[in-house]
């Protein structure tokens, strides 16, 4: 039996729009989170295989082991933050308490121990991954759970998410461009690759702390009214509540496939650029206005700059045509780009940059729209259950996000290991992979991602909530706050 709610055909409830300064301060919190994720998504795999020296298949197992731990701590942190009551609110205390440990744990990820045993390296990477992810959860889940508490309106939520994703994309661009340059400068100064990566982690770790302090002191949480504080849910109860939310199931399918696609592309681009486009030349550079710049910095910079600049475009399209239509159109374009990447010849830097511009437009879409639908899903759950569980939902979303990242790492590194990927010797200037390995690198970077994107489009096609339905849900929620006894949950009309 399909669960749904009867809703009247009323206009969107009028709520006071968020101030722009609130959106800016809140959005800035994603700078640290996004820079960490970008560095890990793009550079961590090649750091593990080429600097730490761990077998790619073992590295993928470490990432998967971390996800098993996340299955426990993500929902737990979400439930705890839902039930915390302090004078500063439910979410903000987490930001002030764990932002500095968040930065320190990230630096730990980029330490290459002086061991040669693959077993010890596997143990180190697994533990570092688990510690970093646990502390990231303690910051990320409460931070994300603020979104539906700050913005109640359908379009206001898209706007707030757009501000957050603007900082997300700026951080991604800065991290993607700066990291190779910092590592390159460190090596030229006589330091090791390891020291270069640690320097990158320390710089971005220090920057990441600042926005969370700003949010704590400037952003105010919405008071919780007409709600009974709940006991912490068990893991089984959490899964049952999540599964009962039909829109959440569709949104989860979109989210997983969306981020597996983005993560596989991010992870494989360094391999693709180095071993296919540059044919194994570690010193390959692109001439930009008379300056020779590292290939990775140029390509990733163009990708992230395009994604950042097109955020307002997708915000406008979503406002005009709805989130679902905007998402499907963006993903359809990105599918074409991913298929085309397979056919690029080595040394075709101009063609590659042209495709990267188009990919950046699609990635901008992928960053904004899947994120903006979850507050609507939470409203649907509140109307059904009379409880707001932002923490539970964003705990689940944070877990799903990390699951997609771990699956991307696991799939990519396992396949590379199966098809004979070899780590370059220390100090190598040119190192090539076998034709078989190169073909696999091209397939992983391009067509495989296209398959995931097509599947995401199918889930989006069946996503049940639109602007009109969300507006009616908000109207009923406001009515229930004023007249709790008159708001009934009905099950006979599909929403």
Question: Residue 393 class from Cβ within 10 Å (0-12 exposed, 13-18 middle, 19+ buried)?
Answer: buried
Quick check: 378 and 393 in contact, CB under 8 A?
A: yes
Measured between alpha carbons, how far is residue 262 from residues 108, 267, 367, 477 in Å? 25, 9, 9, 35
Q: Report residue 291: phi and psi, to 5°.
A: -110, 130
Q: Which two tokens stand for residue 68?
A: 């098993």
Q: Which two tokens stand for residue 293?
A: 């710049």
Residue with tokens 């707001």: 388
H/E element, 389? none
Select from 183, 65, 51 the least CA-distant residue to 112.
Answer: 51
Quick check: 424 and 74 in contact, CB under 8 A?
A: no
Full pLDDT tens readout for the chain, 495 residues? 334 333 333 334 445 677 888 888 988 989 988 898 889 888 888 899 888 888 888 988 887 787 677 667 777 777 777 777 777 778 888 899 999 999 999 999 999 888 888 999 999 999 998 898 889 889 988 888 887 778 766 677 778 878 887 888 789 889 988 898 898 888 778 888 888 999 999 999 999 999 999 988 888 776 655 444 555 566 677 777 878 888 888 888 998 999 899 889 888 998 999 999 999 888 788 887 777 887 888 888 898 889 888 888 988 898 888 888 899 999 999 999 999 999 999 999 999 999 999 999 998 888 777 877 888 888 888 888 887 777 778 778 877 887 888 888 888 989 998 998 888 877 777 889 999 999 999 999 999 999 999 999 999 998 888 778 878 888 887 787 766 544 444 433 444
Measured between alpha carbons, how far is residue 85 from residues 76, 77, 223, 226 in Å? 16, 14, 11, 15
SS3 content of the chain, % helix, strand, coil (to 5): 75, 0, 25
Select from 373, 365, 364 the least CA-distant residue to 397.
Answer: 373
Select from 176, 148, 131, 235 the least CA-distant residue to 34.
Answer: 176
* pLDDT on residue 329: 92
* pLDDT on residue 339: 96
Q: Which two tokens stand for residue 97?
A: 């308490």
Measured between alpha carbons, how far is residue 183 from residues 30, 198, 273, 305, 395 in Å? 24, 9, 17, 21, 34
* pLDDT on residue 16: 64
Q: Which two tokens stand for residue 456?
A: 């995401």
H/E element, 293? strand 291-294
* pLDDT on residue 230: 52
Fold that domain 20-219+233-484 belongs to in CATH = Growth Hormone; Chain: A; (1.20.1250)
* pLDDT on residue 154: 62
* pLDDT on residue 124: 92
Q: Which two tokens stand for residue 473?
A: 């849900």
């Amino acid at each position: 039996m399909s669960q749904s709610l009867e809703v009247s055909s009323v206009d969107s409830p009028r709520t006071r729009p968020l101030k722009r300064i609130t959106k800016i301060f809140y959005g800035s919190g994603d700078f640290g989170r996004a820079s960490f994720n970008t560095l890990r998504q793009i550079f961590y795999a090649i750091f593990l295989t080429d600097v730490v020296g761990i077998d790619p298949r073992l590295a993928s197992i470490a990432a998967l082991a971390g996800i098993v731990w996340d299955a426990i701590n993500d929902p737990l942190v979400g439930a705890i933050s839902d039930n915390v009551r302090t004078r500063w609110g439910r979410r903000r205390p987490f930001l002030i308490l764990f932002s500095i440990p968040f930065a320190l744990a990230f630096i730990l990820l980029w330490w290459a121990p002086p061991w040669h045993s693959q077993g010890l390296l596997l143990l180190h990477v697994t533990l570092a991954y688990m510690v970093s992810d646990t502390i990231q959860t303690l910051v990320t889940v409460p931070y994300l759970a603020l979104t539906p508490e700050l913005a109640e309106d359908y379009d206001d939520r898209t706007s707030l998410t757009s501000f957050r994703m603007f900082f997300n994309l700026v951080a991604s661009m800065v991290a993607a461009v700066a990291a190779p340059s910092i590592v390159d400068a460190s090596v030229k100064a006589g330091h090791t690759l390891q020291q270069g990566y640690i320097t990158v982690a320390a710089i971005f770790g220090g920057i990441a702390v600042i926005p969370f302090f700003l949010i704590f002191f400037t952003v105010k949480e919405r008071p919780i009214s007409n709600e009974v504080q709940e006991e912490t849910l068990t893991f089984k109860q959490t899964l049952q509540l999540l599964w009962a939310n039909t829109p959440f199931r569709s949104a989860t399918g979109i989210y997983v496939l969306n981020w597996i696609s983005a993560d596989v592309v991010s992870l494989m681009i360094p391999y693709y650029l180095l071993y296919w486009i540059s044919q194994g030349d570690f010193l390959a550079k692109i001439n930009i206005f008379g300056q020779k710049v590292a290939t990775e910095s140029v390509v990733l910079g163009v990708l992230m700059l395009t994604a950042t600049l097109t955020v307002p475009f997708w915000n406008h399209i979503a406002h005009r045509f709805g989130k679902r239509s905007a998402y499907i159109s963006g993903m359809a374009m990105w599918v074409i780009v991913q298929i085309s990447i397979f056919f690029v010849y080595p040394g075709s830097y101009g063609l590659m940059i042209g495709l990267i511009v188009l990919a950046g437009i699609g990635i901008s879409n992928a960053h904004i729209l899947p994120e903006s639908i979850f507050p609507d899903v939470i409203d649907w759950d509140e109307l059904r259950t009379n409880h707001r569980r932002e923490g539970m939902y964003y705990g689940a979303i944070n877990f799903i996000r990390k699951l997609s990242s771990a699956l991307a790492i696991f799939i990519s590194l396992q396949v590379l290991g199966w098809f004979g990927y070899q780590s370059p010797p220390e100090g190598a200037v040119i190192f090539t992979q076998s034709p078989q390995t190169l073909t696999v690198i091209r397939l992983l970077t391009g067509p495989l991602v296209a398959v995931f994107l097509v599947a995401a489009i199918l889930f989006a096609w069946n996503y049940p909530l639109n602007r009109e339905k969300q507006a009616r849900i908000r109207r009923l929620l406001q009515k229930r706050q004023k007249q709790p006894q008159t708001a009934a949950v009905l099950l006979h009309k599909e929403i």
